[in-house]
Amino acid sequence: MRYKTLRQFYQEKYGDRTFKVPVDAGFSCPNIDGTITRGGCTYCNIHSFTMVEEGDITSQVKLRIDKLKEREIFNYIIYFQSYSNTHAPLNIMRRRIEAALVDDAIRGIYIGTRSDVIEDNKLDYLAQLNTKYDVMVELGLQTANNITLMQTNRGHSVENFVEGVRRCQEVGLEVCAHAIFGLPGENMDDYKRTAELIAALNVDMVKFHNLEIIKGTAMAKMYKNGEIQLPTEDEYVEAVSYGIAVMPPKTIVSRLQGEAVESMLLATSVTHNKNLLINKIHKYMDEHNLKQGTLHTGKMPKIYGEFSL
C-alpha cells in the first residue's frame, strides 16, 4: 500500500462498509457572522459543500440512513460538515449533535470546525461523547503561511491551529487536518511546509485539496481579474505525493482533491475525475519511490510570517 486510505481504515476498524452521513446542523461561522471577521475565507462558498437531506437534523440523518440501508450499508459516521460546528453555546451545540444520534449503527461523529471556536467546555463534552462514539475534530489549517492566511481572510493564525490540534489531542480526541495547495502567492515550498507541519502534529487524518475557484466567492472575482494563477495538475500531483510521503504511517489519507459541487465550480486546474488523479499520484509516487512515511521526520517546520487580524 502506498498510503493508508479511509476505506482501509473503516474496514479494519468496523469490519464492514461504512459511510458518512452529512448533516447541516444550522451553525454559522465566526468568520462570516462577524464574531471574528465578515465575508468568510476568500475561497469559501458554503453552498459548494456536500448536499444533505431535507429537514431538521434528525430527519436529515434518518433519511440518509434509510437510503444507505437500502444499499446494504450498515455503519455510519455522522459528519457535521457545513460551517463551524462548535460555534454556538454548549447547550445548543449539544442539542444539535444529540439530535443526530438516532441509530444504533452510528459509529462515529466527525465535527468540522475551526481551531478558534473550541472552548474547553466544548472539548470536555466532545471527550465525553468520545467514550461512546469515535469523535474526530476536523480543523482547517489550509496553509502554514500566516501571510496567506491573512490574505485569504482566514481569521486565525497557524499558531492558533497548532494549539487547537494539541488541545483536542490532550483530551483524547482524534484530529483531521485540512490543507489547500495552490492558494494565491504560494509555491511548492509553501505546499511542502504545510504538509510537514500537519505531519509533525501527528494527526489521525489528513485531507488535501487543490484550490478550486468557486462561483460567488471573493476569489472568483480575483480570478476573473486575472489575479490568480492556479498550479498545474503536475504541480498538484507533486505536492500531494510529497504530502503523503511526509505523513506518519498512522495518518489516514482521506482526501486527495477538492470536492466542490460541479455546478458551483468556476475554475480548477486539476481533473475532477478521481480515478485519473489517483492514478497520476500513484504513478508519481512509484517513479519517485515514495510511500506514506518515506519522508517523515516529525520535525516542525518554521512557520512563515506573522499573523494579525
- 36 is a site residue for ligand SF4 (CB under 6 A): no
Helix-strand-coil percent breakdown of the chain, rounded to 5? 40, 20, 45
Query: Which region among 15-23, 27-35, 212-220, 280-288 touches ligand SF4 (by CB under 6 A)?
Result: 27-35
Distance of alpha carbon 215 from alpha carbon 79, whole angstroms: 24
- 40 is a site residue for ligand SF4 (CB under 6 A): yes
CB of 164 to ligand SF4, least distance (A): 12
Residue 66's CB is within 10 A of a number of other CB atoms, namely: 11
- 207 is a site residue for ligand SF4 (CB under 6 A): no
Distance of alpha carbon 299 from alpha carbon 301, whole angstroms: 6
Provide the H-helix boundaries in 204-271: 218-224, 233-246
- 141 is a site residue for ligand SF4 (CB under 6 A): no
CB of 68 to ligand SF4, least distance (A): 26
- 31 is a site residue for ligand SF4 (CB under 6 A): yes
Distance of alpha carbon 171 from alpha carbon 199, whole angstroms: 20
Q: Could you tell me the three cell numbers for 97?
A: 449533535
Query: Which region among 28-36, 73-81, 101-109, 251-259 touches ligand SF4 (by CB under 6 A)?
Result: 28-36
- 29 is a site residue for ligand SF4 (CB under 6 A): yes
- 194 is a site residue for ligand SF4 (CB under 6 A): no
**Could you give the string, one character per residue 84-123, with x where binding to ligand SF4 holds by CB under 6 A and - elsewhere?**
x-----------------------------x---------
| Among 23, 41, 93, 220, interactor with ligand SF4 by CB under 6 A | 41
Nearer to ligand SF4 by Cβ, of 47 and 107: the residue is 47
Determine the Cα angle at 214 with ends 280 and 81, to 5°: 85
CB of 179 to ligand SF4, least distance (A): 13
Determine the Cα angle at 183 with ends 46 and 260, to 5°: 35
Determine the Cα angle at 179 with ends 177 and 183, to 5°: 155
| Among 21, 23, 25, 44, interactor with ligand SF4 by CB under 6 A | 44
Nearer to ligand SF4 by Cβ, of 48 and 251: the residue is 48
Nearest to 110 by CA among 25, 7, 15, 44: 25
CB of 84 to ligand SF4, least distance (A): 6
Nearer to ligand SF4 by Cβ, of 47 and 94: the residue is 47
Task: Yes or no: say if 185 and 151 are a contact pair by the CB < 8 Å rule.
Answer: yes
Question: Could you give the angle at which helices 158-170 and 120-129 cross, rounded to 10 degrees?
Answer: 40
Nearer to ligand SF4 by Cβ, of 217 and 254: the residue is 217
Nearest to 233 by CA among 271, 178, 187: 271
Query: Which region among 41-49, 161-169, 258-266, 276-284 touches ligand SF4 (by CB under 6 A)?
Result: 41-49
CB of 85 to ligand SF4, least distance (A): 10
- 83 is a site residue for ligand SF4 (CB under 6 A): yes
- 32 is a site residue for ligand SF4 (CB under 6 A): yes
For the purposes of burial, counting CB atoms within 10 Å of the CB of 4, is it exposed (0-12), middle (13-18) or buried (19 or more)?
buried
CB of 177 to ligand SF4, least distance (A): 14
Residue 27's CB is within 10 A of a number of other CB atoms, namely: 21
- Applying CB under 6 A, the residues found at the interface with ligand SF4 are 29, 31-32, 40-41, 44, 46, 83-84, 114
